[in-house]
Structure 1
Amino acid sequence: MNNRDAQNIFGRYPRLLVTDDVLQDAAHIVEGSYAPLTGFLRERDYLFVLDSMRLANGAVWSLPTVIALTDTEREYLAAASAVEVVNRQGDARAIVQDIEIYPYDRGKQALAVFGTTDMRHPGVARLYQQGNWLLGGVVATVEQHKKPFAALAYTPEQMKQLFAERGWKTIAAFQTRNVPHRSHEYLQRKALEVVDGLLVHPVVGKKKTGDFTDEAIVGGYELLLTNHYTPRTTVLGVLPLSMHYAGPREAVHHALIRRNFGCTHMIIGRDHAGVGSFYDPYAAHRIFERFTPQELGIGILAYENVHHCRSCNDLVYGETCGHGPGNREFLSGTAMREMVQNKQRIPEKFIRAEIAEYLLRHENPFVL
C-alpha cells in the first residue's frame, strides 16, 4: 500500500485506543519481523498456537499475537468489519481489516504459554488484567511514531542488506534484556567461532520492575562493542519488543524473529526469557527438539552456563574444567542489581570495568 492509499484509509473505520505494545506488534507484522503472520490471530490460529505452537496451516508460531478487548469495546465493534487502532498519544496507528472477535479462556492461555496460573508470574498477572475478548484480523497498514533508538532499530530488510554489505553468510543472533557481562560475552565469542557475524539484538520496550532500563542496556553494549569487538564481525541493533517472560515458548518466538532478520543461528543460553524459578533453566533448549531445522528456518546454538572458576582464575564453560562446584562463582542478576543499587563496584571478573563504571554513574539504570 502506497502512502496516498494509506492516508486515504485512515478515518474510515471505528477507532480503538490500544497500548503501544499492540502498535509495536502491528509494525512487526507489516515489516516482516513476525512472518509468516499477516495479522493478529483469528480464533482458529489462536487455538492452534496454544495447543501446538503452530498456525492452522502448520507454520511454527509460539505466542498468541492478538488484541484484547473489554466488554464495552467488543460491543462498540460488534458491527465493524475493520478497525483503526491508535495509541493514547495519537502518534501511532494501524488499520486491522476482516476482523474477528472471539472469547477465550485465560486459564488455558496461561497454562499453555507460561506453564502456570500463578499470579506472581508477571505474564500471568498481565493476562488476567486484560479484557474478556480477543480480536484478530489482517494488518493493512501502520503509521508509527519515531522508534526508540531509531539509528539502531533496523527493519528485517535493512538488517539483511547490512549483512550482505559485510559479506556475512552465517550470522548468530544474541537476544538480551540485560547489560553485558562477561559470561554473555563468552557465549557471543563462542558463537563467533562458527559463524561469520554476530548480531547483538537487545529488546527495548516494556519490562518488569527491577529489570535494567533500555538506556542502560544499549549504553552498556555500545561500550562493549566499541572497546572490545570489531565491526568486521559484530553489529548492534535493537528490537522494539515487550517481554512476555514466557520462557521456552518465548525462546521460539525470539528465534523466529531473528530468522526473519536474516540470521542463520540463534544463541539460546540458560533460562532464556525466564523469570524467577518458573522454568527449568534448560527448558528453552529442549523445546526446540519439537521442530525440525527446516520448520524453524534457523539453527539453534544451545549453550550451557558460564561461571568463573576460582582455581582456574578464568571463565569456564559448562564442565570444561576439572575443579568441583566449590570453585564455581556465579553472579546472579539479583546480586548484580543489588551491587549497582548500593553503588558497589562489580568485580571485573564478572563485568568489564568501563561498563561497571558506567552503571555506577547512571542515575537510575532500573525500571521502576
Structure 2
Amino acid sequence: MTYEVNEETLQDIINIETKLFYPLTGFMDSKDYNSVINEMQLSTKEVWTIPITLDVNKETFTNAINKEVLTLTFKNKPIATLFIEDLFKIKEQDIKKIFQTDDINHPGVKKEKSRFPFRIGGKIEVIDKEILKNSLMPKDTKKLFKQKGWNTIVGFQTRNVIHKAHEYLQRVGLEFCDALFINPLVGWKKSGDFSEQAVEKGYKKMIEIYYENLNVHFQTLKTQMRYAGPKEAIFHAIIRRNLGCTHFIIGRDHAGVGNYYGKYEAHSLARKILKTNSLGIELLLLKEPYYCNICKQMVSENCCAHKDIIRISGTKIRKKFLNNETPSSIFMREEVSKEILNLKEEMFIK
C-alpha cells in the first residue's frame, strides 16, 4: 500500500531522519499527539510543543486498518516506509489548542484546516537516501562547531530579511557566546513573506560587509512555518539545540503573525516551561530593539527610557520594497537593501 505525500510532509520525513526533530523517530501516534497539544510534552515527558503528524485521505486511512506498513511516495517514487502503530482522527477543537485560535485568517490555522483529519502514526525508515542530499544535518553542524573550537553558539531564527533590530539582537548574542548561528527558515511560508532568495542574499551581503571575520555561521533551515507564536518559539529552540546550539534568542512576538499573540507571550511560556523542565539549551529572552532619536542608536527598553523613538517596522520595510524603494538606513543597511531590490519580482512569496 502506498501514499503520495506533499512537499511539507517530505520535509518532515527528512527532518525526522536527520534527527533535526529528535527525539522523534516517526510521525506521532495519538498518545504523543494528545500529550503535545494538551501538555506540551511527549508521552515520555520530554518538552515538545508542535505536533508532527502524517495526514492521509479517508481511503488510505480505511485501507491501513490491520496493515503493518505504508510506503510513502513523492512524485510517485518510494521514499520511506512507515511502520503503522496507530490510526486516529483529530478533532476540530485541537486546532485551537495548537494555535490559541481557530480563526481561518490565521495562516497556520488555514493550512491545518486544509489537511485531512485522518492521521497515521509510526516510525519511519527512509528508503531513498537521495532525499537527504543537501539537507541540514545536526551531525554536520555539531562537527563544524567543534572544528572551529566554538564552545557556546547562539542560534538565531528568522523568516525575514535582516534589518537593524535583528542585527542588534544578533550582536547581543555574540556578546554572550563564542559564535552566532544565523539559521533562517526557508520552508513553506505564507504569501507576502520574503522569499528564500531575498533572505539569503540579504544575509550574505550583511555577513560579507558587517560580520566579516566574526564567528558567524549562516545556513538555512527547511521546515514549514506554523505561525504558532509562543509554542513555535519553543519548537524552534529545540531544533537549534539538536543542531548543536547552546543558546537561542527569543525576541518580540517570536513566530507570531498579526495580533494573535502577545508581544512577549513567548517569553512567558519559556519561563513557565523552564520552571519545571530543561530544554537542553539556554534561552536569551531579549526585548524589542528600536532606534532612539535622543541616544542616536539602536536600544531596547532595558537600556533606554526615552520616548522619542522609531520602531523598526517590518510592514514599512515591505511597503518600501513593494514600491521598489530603499528603506530608511535606520531600518536596514543600505547595501542589504540594494541586494534585495535587485531581485525585483522575486523578493516575495506569491
Identify whether the pair has TM-score above 0.5, normalized to the shorter chain.
Answer: yes
Aligned position for 1:158: 140
Poorly superposed stretches of 4+, deviation over 4 Å: 144-148
Q: Does 1:35 align with 2:16?
A: no
Q: Does 1:58 align with 2:40?
A: no
Aligned pair 1:74/2:47, yes or no? no
Residues 199-210 of structure 1 aligned to structure 2 (within 5 Å)? 199-210=181-192
Deviations 1:5-35 (A, max 9, x none): xxxxxxxxx1101111111111111111111
Does residue 111 (structure 1) correspond to residue 96 (structure 2)? The answer is yes
Instruction: State the partner residue of 1:11.
Output: none
Match of 2:200 among 218, 221, 242: 218
Amino acid at match of 1:101: L
Which amino acid in structure 2 is aligned with residue 132 of structure 1? P
8 A Cα contact 2:68 2:84, kept in partner: yes
Match of 1:267 among 249, 262, 279: 249
Within the candidate set 281, 288, 298, 1:298 is matched to 281
How much has 1:348 moved relative to structure 2? 1.2
Q: Aligned residue for 2:159?
A: 177
- CA drift of 1:232 comes to 4.5
- Equivalent in the alignment of 1:96: 82
For residues 94-140 of structure 1, what are the alpha-carbon distances to aligned partners after superposition, in whole Å with 9 as ceiling and x for unaligned? 21113321111122x21211001111111111121211211110012
Alignment match, 2:344 = 363
Per-residue deviation, residues 215-235 of structure 1 (Å, max 9, x unmatched):
110111111111111454110
Q: Distance in 1 between matches of 2:129 and 2:266?
A: 32
Q: Where does 1:302-321 land on structure 2 (aligned, <5 Å)?
A: 302-321=285-304
2:124 to 139, 161, 164: 139
Cα distance in 1 for partners of 2:138, 2:349 equals: 28
How far apart in 1 are the matches of 2:300 and 2:333? 18
| Partner Cα distance (1:315, 1:147) in 2 | 41
**How big is each residue's C-alpha offset from its partner over 1:321-360, in whole Å with a ceiling of 9 and x where there is no partner?**
2421xx1112321111111010111111211111111122
Deviation readout 1:212-254 (Å, 9 max, x if unpaired): 0011101111111111114541100111110000000100100
Give distance in 2, aligned partners of 1:292 and 1:142.
Answer: 38
Q: Secondary structure at the match of 1:204?
A: coil
Distance of aligned partners of 1:142 and 1:297 in 2 relative to their CA distance in 1, 3 Å threshold? farther
**What SS does the corresponding residue of 1:138 show, helix, strand or coil?**
strand
Q: Please name the residue that 2:210 is paired with.
A: 228
Question: In structure 2, do the counterparts of structure 1 residues 237 and 47 end up closer, same or farther at CA, with 3 Å as the change threshold?
Answer: same
**Contact 2:288–2:301 under 8 Å retained in 1:** yes
Find the counterpart in structure 2 of residue 7 from structure 1. none
What TM-score does the superposition give when structure 1 sets the normalisation length?
0.91
Q: Read off the aligned partner of 1:133 and give its amino acid letter.
A: F
Tell me whether 184-193 or 67-76 shows the greater mean CA deviation: 67-76
Instruction: Return the alpha-carbon distance in structure 1 between the equivalents of residues 157 and 87 of structure 2.
Output: 33
Contact map agreement 2:8 2:224 (CA 8 A) in 1: yes
Equivalent pairs counted in the alignment come to: 348
Distance in 2 (alpha carbons) for counterparts of 1:132 and 1:234: 42
Are 2:173 and 1:188 aligned?
no
| Contact 1:266-1:299 at 8 Å conserved across structures | yes
- In the TM superposition, what is the alpha-carbon distance from 1:144 to its structure 2 partner? 5.6
1:20 correspondence with 2:19: no
> What CA distance in whole angstroms lies between the structure 2 residues aligned with 1:231 and 1:29?
34
Work out whether residues 71 and 78 of structure 2, in 8 Å CA contact, stay in contact via their aligned partners in 1.
Answer: no
Work out the CA distance in 2 between the residues paired with 1:43 and 1:284. Answer: 26
Provide the C-alpha distance between the structure 2 equivalents of 1:172 and 1:164, rounded to a whole number of angstroms: 14
Aligned pair in 2 of structure 1 residues 91, 356: CA closer, same or farther (>3 Å)? Answer: farther
Closer, same or farther in 2 for the Cα pair 1:131/1:357, shift >3 Å? same
Pick closer, same or farther for the CA change 1:348–1:92 going to 2, 3 Å: farther
1:334 aligns with 2:335: no
The correspondence for 1:349, drawn from 312, 327, 330, is 330
Ranges in structure 2 where 5+ consecutive residues have no aligned partner: none
Question: How much does 1:92 deviate?
Answer: 7.0
Name the SS for the 2:184 alignment partner.
strand
**Cα contact 1:92–1:144 (8 A) shared by 2:** no
